[in-house]
Amino acid sequence: MALQRSLRRTKADAVYEALQNGIMSGNIEAGQHLRQEDVAAQWGVSQTPVREAFRRLEAEGLVEHSANKGVIVRGIPWAPPPQPLDTIARRWSELVHDPASIPGSDFP
């Protein structure tokens, strides 16, 4: 019985998953302010599950709690992949400076 109870989704889980999905999909944009009261009203829950969801999102780096501003969406914490030319230039530099660093290289 206790195992079954622990598998149930809480209100905080539902709010957290909805906000996380919204941020990851881009429906909730970086820089957007999230008000506890508004999110609670939107999901029909008290502010306690919303606070818990905000804490979890902040731990993941998706939102940031700022004094006097509230919770601000940071967006997806990732860097774009390097441009192909940047990668080629970096590999060429590695090859020229240390040919042994490139496996299978027979560069003179």
Q: What is the mean pLDDT of each run of 10 residues along the chain (108 residues)?
A: 62 94 90 94 94 93 87 80 77 77 60
Instruction: Tell me the fold of 2-73.
Output: Arc Repressor Mutant, subunit A (1.10.10)
pLDDT of residue 92: 81
Residue 17 to residue 92: CA distance in whole angstroms: 44
Residue 17 to residue 66: CA distance in whole angstroms: 22
**For the chain, what are the domain ranges?**
2-73, 78-108
Q: Are 83 and 91 in contact (CB under 8 A)?
A: no
pLDDT of residue 1: 44
pTM of the complete model = 0.64
